[in-house]
Structure 1
Amino acid sequence: MTGVLADVLDAQRDEERRRAVRALLHRPLLTPSDPAYGLVRKHAGYLAEWFAREAGWSLHTDPGVARLRKVPGDLSDGSRAARVPGGGARARQPFSRRRYVLACLALAALERAEAQVTLGWLVDRVVAYAADEEIAGAGISFAMEDRDERGDLVAVAQLLLSLGVLQKVAGDEQAFVNRSGDALYDVDRRVLAVLLSTRRGPSLVPAADLQARLTAVTEDVVADTEDGRNRQLRHALARRLLDDPVVYYADLTEPQRTYLDMQRGPLLKRLTEATGFLAEVRAEGIALVDATREATDFGMPEEGTEGHATLLLAEYLSDQLRAGTGPVSVAAAEQRMREMIVEHRAHWRKNTRDPGAERVLTAHALGRLAALGLVRVRGESGENGEKVVPLPALARFGYLRPTIRGKKDTR
């Protein structure tokens, strides 16, 4: 019986660790209010060692916060922008360049703030910082002169609330937008201190080019030895397998592909055992599938008008992929969406019949499909227009017509 009990306890421990890994992959910053925070604290030693060994990511834990300092495997992927969970329709929009700038200015203001701040106080500081010549020279202006600007700053405040940097004491953000009130927050300095996740401080990087700056602030120090280079390759592949929906062989460098060809079995075994993911290995690439959906940012299919429209557009693009017709213009995708609005008007929201609704639905669907690694949108608006490139994993959302091989006699 002792051996059986030990096996049960070991299995329970391993499952707790998998849940903690999945929680950190989904939410790299956890506070005590998160249901998974206790598990992460309980297994902090194992988690810190595993993430450091497999992905080169460090884990910070203390009585007030747990922070996995994730470094993306693909710095050029802009398909998964910050969003406000549970906010209004405008707040849920992907963060724009201006919102990111406002978020950085708000964090700079909070570094010098008292234990409590109001939204109005935060606005005043952000407006003052935004007047800096370098920010203005970069094309960012912010003076709180219209409702859109107030809405952007409210979205930033709501993001900081969701992260735990701010904790609401009283008031309402919408009242501030309507100029009828204010909101009062506590500032959590533990969370604020660990929010920045870089190898080097951005202010220490002289490069002006965005890609060069991203590379500089996330660059790992690697020993110039064979072991050091192999470790760097292993970390780069693990980061993409853990963080990206699909890893296509065509997107890997030659050294990464060579390393993966030799070490695919052991690498996938370690990652799947620690996460509970299922490895799907195909001719075009690899995906680690989360059957629990605990580590999934975007699900598909989803309920609602947008979810149904995204699934139907995926089916249309999958048919084009199977037919080998090449990239599909965004205009063609919008035309197909227009046809689907007519076809499903009895089931979709009434505002989908408004002029231009097909463009909104198509943009949402393509954004979701791009974030899931199912399509890529290339080109710019203009004479040639943007093109949608269906990727191999999209084929699973296509359906073949049934083939009836015999006719049953019903007489």
Structure 2
Amino acid sequence: MTTPLTEVLEGQHAAEIRRASRALLKEPLLLAHGARTDEFRLVRRHATELRDWFDRNTGWPLQIDTESARLRKIPGTPADATHPARETSRAAAPFSRRRYVLLCLTLAALERGESQIALGRLAEQVVVDTSDPQLAAAGIEFTLERRDERLDLAAVVKVLLHLGVLRRVAGDEDAYVSGAGDVLYDVERRVLAGLLATRRGPSLVQAAAFEERMSELAVETALESDELRFRATRHRLTRRLLDDPVLYYDELSDAELAYLTRQRAFLTSRITELTGLVAEVRAEGIAMVDPLDDLTDVRMPEQGTHGHITLLLAEHLATASTPVPVTELRRRVRELATEHGGFWSKSAREPGAEPELVEQALMKLASLGLIARTSEGIAPRPALARYAVGETVVLEAGAAAPRKAKK
């Protein structure tokens, strides 16, 4: 039997919506030119439906013009530090505190500047801005006299190149870092204007503590009715289901848990319909699993030395019933180097490498929601149990495998 034309067209439409939504979730800023032109065209073609879905279910505004599409994502947990900005290089090192400051000052300088700017001129403006007494009191210093400072600025600029805020006209950042040349950029002002994704301007935030400042940046309108409160709860939960690797019930407020208990099927089915993510519901929480395995910035397991060490430490932590001290994990890495060092890089086998190797592994496990850092040490979270290795069962030739007991 032939499939009716209407069903074919509806299937194509749904597939395009899914591709467009996944593209926005993976890269919330899409440009009309460059490597993701096709995704941008899809988003623009289905702008009305996408805008309505994100507004209704997450509260994330979607702004689209002829040059860019910007999904202004606000995380469900604003103070979450497990997904930092990273270098665009292969190492993908997380941004330091100074690089975050330089990023903000660079954006401010670009906003005040012209449509073209040289890296040397941009650096001079940043140096002037870092002389602000408040920054100096906070321990921020930037003079361009040291190579590591120029490397930090170059890393910030490369992120802006990746985002499309800057477009290189001539020159090379590595030459600038070594003092052998300069770089000229076009400033894409419309892209620059769309970067900020806050509910209020940073200059209006009055709180002193970090978490309070983050909350004020993302503050919602006054919730004066049950309908508004329910909508805000739906937005927070959907954001976390889309963004967080695992949504644990014990991290929710009583009101959020009650809402999720009643509306779980509705929330997860809406996400599945739009994105293709599949809900894995357990006693401790919910994970939206991606069958295509491309809607993540952190993968596990992963090839290479660091991926191997992370997997081995995950196996070790999965069997722990109490928090494990970091010193014990470092000792465990030394033991693993003796057993598996032949498969590791030379630097990972050197004495004294354990602290860095353990920290990199813990950062990955934390970003995946598999562990929690406590004052007593590293506590395994329920989802880590899938990396536990069971007891080895040796079967005689021709023997049947043991059956698992039904739960």
Task: Please give the range of the TM-score, normalised by the shorter of the 2 chains.
Answer: over 0.9
SS of the residue 2:341 aligns to: coil
Other structure's SS at 2:343 match: coil
Query: Is residue 78 of structure 1 aligned with residue 81 of structure 2?
Result: yes
Partner of 1:378: 374
Is there any run of 5+ residues in structure 2 with no aligned partner, and where? Answer: 400-407
Match in the other structure for 1:192: 192
What is aligned with 2:70?
Answer: 67
Q: Distance in 2 between matches of 1:187 and 1:116?
A: 6
**Match of 2:380, as an amino acid?**
P
1:383 corresponds in structure 2 to none
In the TM superposition, what are the counterparts of 1:30-69 in structure 2 within 5 Å?
Answer: 30-32=30-32, 33=34, 34=36, 35-69=38-72
CA shift, 1:99, in A, is 0.8
Counterpart of 2:343 (choices 335, 343, 347) is 347
Equivalent position to 1:394, from 380, 384, 392: 384
Q: Give the distance between the partners of 1:171 and 1:311, measured in 2 at CA.
A: 42
Q: Which residue of 1 aligns with 2:20?
A: 20
- 2: distance between equivalents of 1:4 and 1:307? 48
Q: Give the match for residue 405 of structure 2.
A: none
Q: What residue in structure 2 maps to residue 208 of structure 1? A: 208
* Structure 1 residue ranges (4+ consecutive) displaced by more than 6 angstroms after TM superposition: none
Is 1:168–1:185's contact at 8 Å kept on the other side of the alignment? yes
Paired with 2:165 and 2:338, the residues of 1 have a C-alpha distance of 45
* Displacement of 1:270: 0.9
Deviation of 1:342 (Å): 2.2
Farther-moved stretch of structure 1 (18-27 vs 227-236):
18-27
Question: Partner residue of 2:103?
Answer: 103
Q: How far apart, CA to CA, are the structure 1 residues paired with 2:5 and 2:229?
A: 43
> 1:272 Cα deviation (Å)?
1.1
In structure 2, distance between residues paired with 1:154 and 1:275: 35
State the distance in 1 between where 2:76 and 2:119 align: 35
Return the offset for 1:76.
2.4
Which of 329, 332, 336 is residue 332 of structure 2 equivalent to? 336
Distance, in Å, in 1 between the alignment partners of 2:257 and 2:85 is 30
1:120 aligned residue: 120
1:293 deviates by 2.1
CA separation in 1, counterparts of 2:182 and 2:359?
Answer: 34
Taking the aligned partners of 1:144 and 1:199, their CA distance within structure 2 comes to 34
Q: Distance in 1 between matches of 2:219 and 2:301?
A: 36
Q: Residue type of the partner of 1:350?
A: K
Evaluate the alpha carbon distance shift between residue 41 and residue 2 of structure 1 in structure 2; reply closer, same or farther with a 3 A threshold.
farther
Structure 1 range deviating more: 57-66 or 292-301: 292-301
Note the C-alpha offset of 1:3: 6.5
- 1:403 maps to 2:393: yes
How many residue pairs get aligned? The number is 396
Query: Structure 1 residue 378: deviation in Å?
Result: 2.6
How far off is 1:251 after superposition?
0.2
1:255 alignment partner in structure 2: 255
> What whole-Å deviation, never above 9, does each CA across 1:204-255 have from its counterpart, x for those lacking one?
1222222222111111114411111111111111011011000000000000
User: Could you tell me whether the CA contact under 8 Å between 2:79 and 2:214 is conserved in 1?
Assistant: no
What secondary structure is seen at the aligned counterpart in 1 of 2:298? coil
**Paired residue type of 1:25:** L
Which residue number corresponds to residue 285 of structure 1? 285
Whether the 8 Å contact between 1:247 and 1:287 is mirrored in structure 2 is yes
Which residue, 354, 362, 366 being the options, matches 1:366? 362
Output the TM-score relative to the length of structure 1: 0.93
Q: Is the 8 A contact 1:374 1:393 kept in 2?
A: yes
CA contact (8 A) 2:323 2:374 kept: no
- Structure 1's unaligned 5+ residue stretches are 380-385
RMSD: 1.6
Structure 2 distance, partners of 1:114, 1:271, is 42
Q: Supply the distance in 2 between the matched residues of 1:20 and 1:387 (Cα, whole angstroms).
A: 42
Shift of 1:404: 3.8
2:62 and 2:10 mapped to 1: Cα distance? 23
- Find out whether 1:314 has 2:314 as its counterpart: yes
Q: Percent identity?
A: 51
Indicate if the aligned counterparts of 1:84 and 1:159 stay in contact, CA closer than 8 A: yes
CA distance in 1: counterparts of 2:235 and 2:198, whole angstroms: 16
